[in-house]
């Protein structure tokens, strides 16, 4: 099977592509290697993938007109896993246009190419942030998602709506998945595990927002990849349960379904690193939600799988990778 993975040099895209290659699939990776965070990390991920002859790395921005059209024309992917996006809730307050271009315009370009070349299945990333101001937890796919509270979340909800329209108009099977706080080796440096680990090992204070009164549904990367690959086999069909009444389209939560208090998360990371943190308690930041919690009933029904890696196990693997990757200063 031939897969197109956009955002292949990103955290999740790298792990998805790696698993596909291990399963002997052909993988075309697309990434623009932007400098939102350290490009070296992206280059290293891509270099690891490129050791496999069944991987082809293409460099380009998905929002560039006709770029993805050309990729589809040349490679005719069977399945598309669309993970390329401008990530980060807080950065979206500083550079909102970047999110409009990458997330909305970029996805539009992908959907236009899919319309013309009709892959068997398009899978695309959304976010738990799409639930926005919804206070009913655990979050279920049937809940209202009309009140996003960050620009990042608003662009991702827009992507869901746009993809549904294309699925309806052009009969493109599409699965959108809402990720819940993914972590693990090769993770993004702007995420809490990475930021906290660096500060703890440097004996510097970590910023703890909302004075620690927050909860997150942390999802280990290997579990998330397993869920994505299993969902790739569950192609939505008109008339099926959980599928839109007018399109071969569905949305699925991917989370651990075991929310962890922020202070417990910090203590678990401290144990994994063997050091205590210094803490700087601060008010909640604009765009943040207090708690996330995934209802994964639909994921279980479709795939027979739900994420199950305990946080202590996942953070231990992350901490071990962090010390090795960043060298002697953190051993």
pLDDT at 266: 97
Distance, CA of 293 to CA of 140 (rounded, Å): 9
Asked if residue 126 belongs to a domain, the reply is yes
Asked if residue 199 belongs to a domain, the reply is no
Note if 152 is an active site residue. Answer: yes
- The number of domains in the chain is 1
Asked if residue 138 belongs to a domain, the reply is yes
Mean pLDDT on 18-36: 97
Asked if residue 53 belongs to a domain, the reply is yes
pLDDT at 135: 86
Q: Inform me whether the pLDDT recorded for 259 exceeds 60.
A: yes
| pLDDT, tens digit, 9 for 90 and up, residues 42-56 | 999 999 999 999 999
pLDDT class of 94 with cuts at 50, 70, 90: confident
pLDDT class of 329 with cuts at 50, 70, 90: low
pLDDT class of 330 with cuts at 50, 70, 90: low
Q: What percent of the chain has pLDDT over 90?
A: 91
Catalytic residue among 36, 131, 139, 152: 152
Mean pLDDT on 30-45: 96
| pLDDT, tens digit, 9 for 90 and up, residues 119-143 | 999 999 999 999 999 889 999 999 9
What is the bridge-based pairing of β-strands 182-183 and 79-82?
unpaired
CATH code for the domain of 88: 3.40.50.720
Compute how many other C-beta atoms are within 10 angstroms of the C-beta atom of residue 48: 16
* Residue 99: domain span: 2-182+220-255+293-308
pLDDT class of 33 with cuts at 50, 70, 90: very high
Q: Which class for 258: exposed (0-12), middle (13-18), buried (19 or more C-beta within 10 A)?
A: middle
Asked if residue 39 belongs to a domain, the reply is yes
Mean pLDDT on 316-320: 97
Asked if residue 189 belongs to a domain, the reply is no
Backbone φ, ψ for residue 194 (5° rounding) = -70, -50
Distance, CA of 204 to CA of 233 (rounded, Å): 46
Q: Are 78 and 3 in contact (CB under 8 A)?
A: yes
Q: What is the DSSP letter of 104?
A: I
Q: Inform me whether the pLDDT recorded for 298 exceeds 80.
A: yes
Out of 57-71, 86-100, 152-166, least confident range: 86-100
Asked if residue 206 belongs to a domain, the reply is no
Q: Can you count the helices (H) and strands (E) in the chain?
A: 12, 13
Q: Inform me whether the pLDDT recorded for 289 exceeds 90.
A: no
- Lookup: tokens for 43: 């280059």
| pLDDT, tens digit, 9 for 90 and up, residues 203-253 | 999 999 999 999 999 999 999 999 999 999 999 999 998 999 999 999 999
pLDDT at 321: 96
Distance, CA of 181 to CA of 202 (rounded, Å): 24
Its pTM surpasses 0.75:
yes
Beta strands in 117-227 (DSSP E): 121-127, 174-179, 182-183, 205-209, 215-216, 219-220
Asked if residue 194 belongs to a domain, the reply is no
pLDDT at 327: 81
């Amino acid at each position: 099977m031939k897969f197109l993975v956009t955002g292949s040099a990103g955290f999740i895209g790298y792990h998805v592509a790696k698993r596909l290659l291990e399963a002997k699939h052909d993988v075309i990776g697309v990434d623009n290697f932007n400098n939102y965070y350290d490009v070296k990390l992206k280059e290293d991920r891509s270099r690891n993938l490129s050791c496999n002859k069944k991987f082809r790395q293409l460099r380009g921005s998905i929002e560039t007109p006709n770029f993805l059209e050309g990729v589809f024309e040349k490679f005719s992917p069977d399945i598309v896993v669309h993970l390329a996006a401008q990530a980060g809730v807080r950065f979206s307050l500083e550079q909102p246009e970047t999110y409009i271009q990458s997330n909305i315009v970029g996805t539009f370009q992908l959907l236009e190419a899919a319309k013309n070349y009709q892959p068997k299945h398009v899978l695309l990333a959304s976010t738990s942030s799409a639930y926005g101001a919804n206070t009913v937890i655990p979050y279920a796919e049937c809940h209202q998602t009309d009140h996003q509270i960050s620009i990042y979340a608003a662009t991702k909800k827009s992507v869901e709506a746009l993809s549904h329209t294309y699925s309806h108009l052009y009969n493109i099977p599409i699965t959108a998945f809402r990720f819940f706080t993914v972590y693990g080796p090769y993770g993004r440096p702007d995420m809490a595990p990475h930021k906290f680990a660096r500060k703890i090992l440097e004996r510097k204070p970590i910023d703890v927002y909302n004075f620690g009164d927050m909860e997150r549904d942390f999802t280990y990367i290997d579990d998330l990849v397993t869920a994505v690959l299993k969902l790739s086999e569950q192609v939505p069909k008109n008339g099926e349960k959980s599928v839109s009444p007018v399109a071969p389209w569905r949305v699925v939560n991917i989370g651990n379904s075991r929310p962890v208090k922020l202070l417990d998360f910090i203590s678990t990371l401290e144990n994994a690193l063997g050091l205590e943190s210094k803490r700087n308690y601060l008010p909640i930041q604009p765009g943040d939600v207090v708690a996330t919690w995934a209802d994964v009933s639909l994921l279980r029904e479709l795939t027979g799988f739900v994420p199950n890696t305990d946080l202590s196990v996942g953070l231990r693997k992350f901490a071990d990778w962090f010390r090795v990757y960043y060298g002697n200063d953190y051993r």
